Chains A and B, each alone.
Chain A
Amino acid sequence: MPFLHADGLALLLMALTTLVVGASALHGARYLRESEAPRRRSGLLWPLLVLLWAALCSLFASGHLVVQYLALEVTALCAVALMLLPGSRASREAGRRYLLCTLSGSLLVLPAVVWLASRQADLSLAALAEVDVAPWWLALVTAGLLIKMAAFPLHGWLPPAHGAAWVSVSTVHAALVIKAAFFMAVSLWTTLAPEAASGAQLLGWLGAAAILWGSLLAWRQTELKSVVAYSTVAQVGYLLLLFPLLFGTDDEVATLAWQSTWLLVISHALAKAAMFMAVGSLVLAMGRGDLQGLSGVGQRLPLSLLVFGLAAVSLLGLPPSGGFTAKWMLLHAAILAHQWQWVLVVGIGTLLGAAYVFRVFRYCFIVPEDEQAMRVPPVSLDIIALLLALAAMGLGLAAAPVVALMGDAP
């Protein structure tokens, strides 16, 4: 079949999509009832999630450029619709901005795909492997995809969107939707431009800037949700480090980088989804979204805080999480390739990451001056999040079978 090819990686990503979408749907059912969202709007969550799930799975499993592109567009439109669901002014504003950004991304990708279609009869990836494209073509498509994955400096739309959306939507968005654009970029580069080493270096530097800038901004935020949103910007930067290590390096480096990046994708998806869910519970309980409100929250909501902590450990790449094993492999690849700049970037990124995560915890340990009334959200919300966070943790030591499924670098 020319349209579908389910290799190990595609299967893994489809399983991940199913897991995260399923968990978010379950979480959403309970969370929206708790936060008293209007039924007319919350009823739309599940159909949209199902559509999103189908689009993402087709993207990961497709071996055809046009199918990939269409799936990506459906994904983006679903995501915009999901962002608009709360109906608040902030969410309308953020959703409109997201729509504009993602459409301008499409405006870069679509002409390039059409241009290629006018020259090539067969747009399946297998056939495209024989084709060489001009650098401007690759630059155009990549720029479009970078907007969609919120890569630095095109990330401006992401934090307001996550700040205004329901957490059950932010989970899916941060965990999967932006990864979809990354997946497509990797698949295009490996197929069409396996020699583009200097462009890959450029992407690496963009990634490095994203890590530093995203972490710095996450550190400066006053709202809990914005901290988590900017940490996503930083995490996308780590993903972009794949490019300089995959292109123009020897097989051993490429394979290590390949496996580490997908491991990072999976563990970040699980951890970030868990983290958003924990943030949802915390915000619900505090009745406010800023960090100041966190003081004394530890005694009342230990489980939410535990989930936040476990997820943070994985995001920071501290052992024994999946993020740690991924970072270990990434460092191994960078040292092996003598690309020391990425070692430095990852090191500084970890420190900045610790700075913004522990800043959140610092507020939690402050003893509150007066007892505030707090409503404790149902424990089932935390259980779903806890399972995701534990999965991200367990991925660290049980990485062997997962990595085996990913196979070697193409």
Chain B
Amino acid sequence: MSDNPGLLLATLATSLLVAPIIFLLPERAWLARTSLNLGAALLKLGLVALMVWGVARGDSYAFGFTVVEGVSFELRADPLGIMFAGLSSLLWLFTTLYAIGYLEGSDNRKRFFGFFSLCVASTLGIALAGNLFTFLLFYELLTLSTYPLVVHRGTPKALAAGATYLRYTVSGGVLLLIAVVALHVLAGEVSFGQREILAELGPEQHPWLIGIFVLLMLGLGVKAALVPLHGWLPQAMVAPAPVSALLHAVAVVKAGAFGIVRVVYDVYGIALSYELGLLTGLAIIASFTILYGSLRALAQVDIKRRLAFSTVSQVSYIMLGISLFGPMGTVAGLAHLLHQGLMKVTLFFCAGNYAEELGIHRIDELDGVGRRMPGTSLAFTFGALGMIGIPPLVGFLSKWYLGMGAIQAGMPWVIAVLVASSLLNAAYFLPILYRLWFKPGPLEGSGEWPHERRLGRLETSAWLLWPALGTAAFSLLAGIFAGLPLSPLSWASLIATQEYLP
């Protein structure tokens, strides 16, 4: 079952092998560590780009071997996986740049970057996994490698957040393990894309299939922060800003969402999920999460906590998209997987910049920051407007296709959810933008910054500023050039076509 395995393994190895090397380098070796990090991130981006090119041409990449009878380790690059791999490599590059600037001069950088690389390697493994066993492997590795990042600061608050994080994710992992094993008992090994295996099981097995689906959703829903399994996410905000960015945009939350996409599309198949009535349940939970997350976000005064609840809400658009039966819903869900990543990473970079440069953590301290930090604030504005869904930013496309999908699936009530949530998005983002740009701040002589540091010649350190501008530009370009081939939207359409046309 191996087919062009070289490129696949090399891509995985880039970040997986970087981790031990970083652990071996001494703490002082800043230059070596930085060049290694950036070199690996660039190399990986290049390799993934090669694979994107190959997959678009119809090449296949696969690697596998048998672990024990009936269970195999399988890596494969299919359009859906390569899409997630592309997102994770792109954002890894930006987050690494950002983290280098952010952790300048702090302790334990070696440990941080080592686990950071492991974390990204696990994300890539999740993207390229060819069956549920392999997926589970990397999914648990992700849990383990993220814990040291969450507790990185070692404060009692960070340790408490880490404990909560583990309580949720390890429990989710156990449920997921049981569900995957039960699926193996029921149907044997299912490679992603072999939808016919479960579809051909007789109706007497359907109660089992539904039970296993619920277990799978519980296991994956923890990381995807579906309400009521989201409790760890707002607490995990004590982690350093690059970790939050990574957690929310590509790694943990997305891994859960991506897993749900895999289960619905490539294990059960959309037709069987629909037939078993599973999609309606998912749509209801997703809608509830969207509204609940937005309402809670509205009540937060801490910037990062507001962003965290916004993630709870935004990630569920992905689940909502895939639970709408029809190609439009699929396009919306998958495209949003990428769009949300780009926007959210931008927002977290900006929140980190405000905290580092001016010591700002609360929303009411943001008055007049736009004049002091125009670049960061511009990036934040792009991210926030995208989240609300204003054209031509990418968030608009997600919502537009979601609406179309809802009509196609005959679930018009979803439109009401979309409208309500967009209003709520506006209600919690627009006041921030108003404060940034229109309220008088310390530069106009009203109050002073909590803790100003002047990190660079620009408005803040260049390491912090450019990644934020870069990801903001990407989320703008992905919206404007959505029609071009290889844009997130057209790639999502390609996957949707494959899903619905046998």
The yes or no verdict on A and B being binding partners is yes
User: Chain A residues in contact with chain B, CB under 8 A?
Assistant: 259, 298-299, 302, 306, 313, 318-320, 324-325, 327-329, 331-332, 335-336, 343, 347, 350-351, 354, 358, 361-362, 365-367, 396-397, 399-400, 403
Cβ–Cβ < 8 Å partners of B163 in chain A: 358, 362
Tell me the nearest residue of chain A to B70, going by C-beta.
A332
**A302 proximity list for chain B (CB < 8 A):** 23, 111
Residues of chain A within 8 A (CB-CB) of B173 are 318
Name, among B136, B148, B178, B184, the residue most crowded by chain A CB atoms within 10 Å (CB to CB).
B178
Partner of A306, one of B23, B175, B181: B23
The interface bits of chain B over 177-203 (1 if a CB of A lies within 8 angstroms of the residue's CB, else 0) are 110011011000000000000000000
Q: 4 closest pairs, A vs B, by CB?
A: A319-B137, A367-B154, A331-B181, A354-B170
CB–CB B170/A351 < 8 A: yes
Q: Report the nearest A residue to B186, measured CB to CB.
A: A335
Q: How far is the CB of B177 from chain A (nearest CB, A)?
A: 7
Query: For residue B23, which residue of chain A has the nearest CB?
Result: A302
Nearest CB on A from B116, distance (A)? 15
With A318-B140, A319-B137, A351-B171 given, can you name 14 additional A-B contacts, CB distance below 8 Å? A299-B107, A313-B144, A318-B144, A319-B141, A328-B133, A331-B178, A332-B184, A332-B185, A336-B185, A361-B147, A365-B152, A365-B158, A366-B159, A400-B66
Query: B344: shortest Cβ distance to chain A, in Å?
Result: 26
Asked if A335 contacts B181 (CB within 8 A), the reply is: yes
Residues of A within 8 A of B67 (CB): 325, 396-397, 399-400
* Contact partners of B185 in chain A: CB under 8 A: 332, 335-336
**Contact count A vs B, C-beta below 8 Å:** 86
Contact B137 A325 (CB under 8 A): no
Q: Is the CB of B68 within 8 A of A399?
A: yes
Residue of A nearest to B111 (CB): A298
**Residue B73 CB within 8 A of the other chain:** yes
Minimum CB–CB distance for A163 against chain B, Å: 26
Q: Are A320 and B181 in contact (CB under 8 A)?
A: no
A residues near B148, Cβ cutoff 8 Å:
365
Determine which of A298, A358, A400 lies in contact with B68 in the assembled complex, contact meaning CB atoms within 8 Å. Answer: A400
Of the candidates A259, A319, A332, the one having the most CB atoms from chain B within 10 angstroms of its own CB is A319
B174 at interface, CB cutoff 8 A: yes
Whole-angstrom CA separation of A350 from B171 in the bound complex: 9
- What CA separation (Å) do A320 and B163 show in the bound complex? 22
1/0 per residue, CB under 8 A from A, across B133-164: the answer is 10011101100100110011011001100110
Q: With A306-B23, A358-B147, A366-B159 known to touch, is A325 a contact of B68 (CB < 8 Å)?
A: yes
**Which residues between 82 and 115 of chain B lie within 8 Å of chain A, taking CB atoms?**
107-108, 111
Q: Which of A298, A332, A358 contacts B181 (CB 8 A)?
A: A332
- Docked Cα-Cα span, A298 to B177, in Å, equals 31
* Cβ-defined contact, A350 with B154, below 8 A: no
Alpha-carbon distance between A51 and B68 when the two chains are bound, in angstroms: 35
Write the nearest CB–CB distance from B202 to chain A, whole angstroms: 19
Provide the bound-state CA to CA distance between A138 and B182, in Å.
34
CB distance from A354 to the nearest CB of B (A): 5
A400 partner residues in chain B, CB cutoff 8 A = 65-69
> What are 28 pairs between A and B in contact, CB < 8 Å?
A298-B111, A299-B107, A299-B108, A318-B173, A319-B141, A320-B137, A325-B68, A325-B71, A327-B177, A331-B177, A331-B178, A331-B181, A343-B178, A347-B178, A350-B170, A351-B171, A358-B162, A361-B147, A362-B151, A362-B163, A365-B151, A365-B154, A365-B162, A367-B154, A367-B155, A399-B67, A400-B65, A400-B67
Q: Does B38 sit within 8 A of A, measured CB to CB? A: no
Contacts of A327 in B (CB 8 A): 177
CB-CB under 8 A from A399, the residues of chain B are 67-68
For B, the interface residue count at a CB cutoff of 8 angstroms equals 41
- Chain B residues with Cβ below 8 Å from A366 are 154, 159
Interface assignment of B166: CB less than 8 Å from any CB of chain A: yes
Name the residue of chain A whose CB is nearest to the CB of B73: A397
- The answer to whether B159 and A365 touch across the interface, beta carbons within 8 angstroms, is yes
Does A328 lie within 8 Å of B147, measured CB to CB?
A: no
Please measure, in the bound complex, the distance between the C-alpha atom of A318 and the C-alpha atom of B142, giving whole angstroms: 11
Q: Are A320 and B174 in contact (CB under 8 A)?
A: no
**Bound form: Cα–Cα A403–B67 in Å:** 10
Find chain A residues with CB under 8 A from B137 CB: 319-320, 324
Q: Please determine whether B166 and A358 come into contact, CB atoms closer than 8 angstroms.
A: yes
Nearest Cβ on chain A to B283's Cβ, whole angstroms: 29
Closest partner residue, chain A, to B175 (CB atom): A347
CA gap between A302 and B110 in the complex, in Å: 10
A259–B162 Cα gap in the complex (Å)? 35
* A136 CA / B35 CA spacing, docked (Å): 70
Among B44-80, those with CB < 8 Å from A are 65-69, 71, 73
Pick the residue among B66, B171, B181 that contacts A328 (CB under 8 A): B181
In the bound assembly, the distance between CA atoms of A302 and B181 in angstroms comes to 35
Q: How far is the CB of B197 from chain A (nearest CB, A)?
A: 17
Shortest beta-carbon distance from A295 to chain B in Å: 8
CB-CB < 8 A to B162: which residues of A?
Answer: 358, 362, 365
> Please, which residue of chain A has its CB at the minimum distance from the CB of B108?
A299
Q: How far is the CB of A296 from chain B (nearest CB, A)?
A: 9
Q: Which residue from chain B places its CB closest to the CB of A344 in the assembled complex?
A: B178
Least CB distance from A408 to B in Å reads: 11
Q: Are B73 and A328 in contact (CB-based, < 8 A)?
A: no
**Chain B residues with CB under 8 A of A299:** 27, 107-108
List the B side residues contacting A343 at CB < 8 Å: 178
**Whole-angstrom distance between the alpha carbons of A306 and B71 in the complex?**
29
Alpha-carbon distance between A255 and B124 when the two chains are bound, in angstroms = 35
For the complex, what is the distance from the CA of A350 to the CA of B177, rounded to whole Å?
11
List of B residues within 8 angstroms of A367 by Cβ = 154-155
